[in-house]
Amino acid sequence: MGAGAAFALLFPCVQGCSKDGDEPDGTIKDEPTGVDFTVDLNSPEAADLIENGGYILKNDVVVARNLEGELIAASQICSHQGYDQVRFVSQNGGIFYCDVHGSQFEQDGTPLNQVDNSPAKVLKVYNTTLTDTVLRVFE
């Protein structure tokens, strides 16, 4: 019985604890190029864009409705080390944020902080135009 109980307690930790705790989530990718796509704001994929502060991810791009209600878009690929973890967050007036190393960017892509003593790099921001209920995101 003692060995069985020890196995039951140890086995989950062997699986969960064997991963290097310093390994960030996400995938390293290149910044998207040739971006040109549309989102129908009435479609289910755009449901999170209804509220100010909401965002969706499409084609490695974060499409967001900022806190003022404007539709904006930026690369989902962080300019710090290339992880695909950039999201829009409703802090500091609404910023793009990568949770891998804590990089923060203004809505125009300007870096707000320096991470790991590396020089700040601008986050790629894309153009948006709205025609009726169709949002176009493009370079």
Burial class of residue 3 (count of CB atoms within 10 Å of its CB; 0-12, 13-18, 19+): exposed
> What's the longest Cα–Cα distance across the chain?
68
Digit-coded pLDDT (tens) for 111-134: 998 777 776 699 999 999 999 999
| Residue 133: CA count within 13 A, CB half-sphere | 10
Confidence label for 22 from pLDDT (cuts 50, 70 and 90): low
Residue 15 has pLDDT above 60, yes or no: no
CA distance 45 to 22: 33
119 close to 75: Cβ distance less than 8 angstroms: no
Digit-coded pLDDT (tens) for 58-115: 999 999 999 999 999 999 999 988 999 999 999 999 999 999 989 999 999 999 987 7
- DSSP H stretches of helix in the chain: 2-17
The whole-model pTM stands at 0.81
Residue 2 has pLDDT above 50, yes or no: no
CA distance 63 to 136: 10
